[in-house]
């Protein structure tokens, strides 16, 4: 059997792509901790030596899976945010920032590219997976993008403290990611739009109206009148 370095370049590339595709599909289905090298080699129809040759370890493999999908997405997000900031200036609102965050993902999911049909579910899994390997990679590799968007939200929501904004973003994005990770995203999108059309502007208008409400809604403080005090005492 030929060693990887003696194989034609196209064959080496095909093997690497098969490994990435297999690892991605298994990651989407069960998350990083449930992912095994045995599953990957069986699904990709390669041996362990091929996986080790191309990636070296399971951690490095999942980082390559994440980078393959998230590098392009985050570049598109930053480009769109730059364009909106340049065009709108002081008129930029948090809804525009969310459009720059969500629209590139929607477009990739509809691009017809390989694995595009599971792209949104992949994003949901990537942003909710509890593994420290996944979390550390996203938090460090995309630190610039995360910082750019957080600063944009700060400028458009000046009434929120840094801690409050961070909490609201974490809560809202985590809820959305959990929904996407959990099932058939095409069915979810159809239910979300309630058959009223799935063009980009309509989909964004429904999604962003909910997310903006989570970011803007006033939250009661510990000394504010609370309608639930009575309910808690009753039950």
Give the helix/strand (H/E) hosting 155: helix 143-156
Cα–Cα–Cα angle for 71, 73, 74, rounded to 5 degrees: 70
Beta strand segments in the chain, E: none
Q: Give the tokens for residue 159.
A: 């009434």
* Inter-residue long-range contacts of 166-171, CB under 8 Å, 24+ positions, other chains counted: 168/214, 168/215, 169/215, 171/214
Q: What span, in angstroms and rounded, lies between the C-alpha atoms of 159 and 175? A: 23
Average pLDDT, the chain: 90
| DSSP classification of residue 90 | G
- pLDDT of res. 20: 97
Instruction: Name which residue leads in pLDDT, 231 or 188.
Output: 231
Domains along the chain?
1-56 (1.10.10.60), 67-216 (1.10.357.10)
Helix, strand or coil, per DSSP, at residue 67: helix
- pLDDT of res. 141: 97
| Highest mean predicted confidence (pLDDT) among 40-54, 106-120, 221-235 | 40-54
Q: What span, in angstroms and rounded, lies between the C-alpha atoms of 57 and 204? A: 39
Read off the pLDDT of each residue in 111-119 and give the average, rounded to a whole number: 88
Place of tokens 């009661």: 220
- Digit-coded pLDDT (tens) for 155-177: 999 999 999 999 999 999 999 99
Model confidence at 11, pLDDT cuts 50, 70, 90, reads low
Helix, strand or coil, per DSSP, at residue 124: helix
Read off the pLDDT of each residue in 11-40 and give the average, rounded to a whole number: 92
Predicted TM-score of the model (pTM): 0.87
Count of other CB atoms within 10 angstroms of residue 209: 11
Reduce the secondary structure of 5-31 to three states and give it as a string: HHCCHHHHHHHHHHHHHHHHHHHHHHC
77-81, 143-147, 197-201: least confidently modelled range:
197-201
| 213 phi, psi to nearest 5 deg | -60, -40
């Amino acid at each position: 059997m030929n060693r990887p370095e003696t194989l034609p370049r196209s064959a080496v590339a095909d093997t690497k792509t098969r490994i990435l595709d297999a690892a991605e599909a298994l990651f989407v289905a069960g998350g990083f901790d449930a992912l095994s090298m045995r599953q990957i080699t069986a699904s990709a129809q390669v041996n362990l030596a091929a996986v080790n040759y191309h990636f070296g370890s399971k951690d490095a493999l999942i980082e390559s899976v994440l980078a393959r999908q998230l590098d392009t997405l985050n570049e598109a997000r930053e480009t769109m945010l730059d364009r909106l900031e340049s065009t709108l200036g002081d008129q930029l609102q948090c809804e525009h920032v969310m459009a720059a965050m969500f629209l590139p993902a929607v477009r990739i999911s509809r691009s017809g590219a390989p694995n595009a049909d599971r792209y949104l579910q992949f994003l949901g899994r990537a942003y909710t997976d509890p593994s420290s390997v996944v979390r550390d990679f996203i938090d460090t590799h995309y630190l610039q993008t995360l910082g750019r968007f957080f600063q944009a939200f700060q400028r458009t929501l000046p009434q929120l403290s840094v801690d409050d904004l961070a909490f609201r973003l974490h809560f809202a994005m985590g809820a959305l990611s959990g929904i996407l990770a959990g099932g058939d995203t095409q069915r979810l999108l159809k239910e979300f739009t309630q058959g009223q059309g799935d063009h980009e502007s309509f989909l964004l208008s429904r999604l962003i109206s909910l997310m903006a409400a989570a970011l803007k809604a006033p939250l009661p403080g510990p000394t504010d009148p609370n309608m639930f005090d009575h309910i808690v005492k009753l039950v």
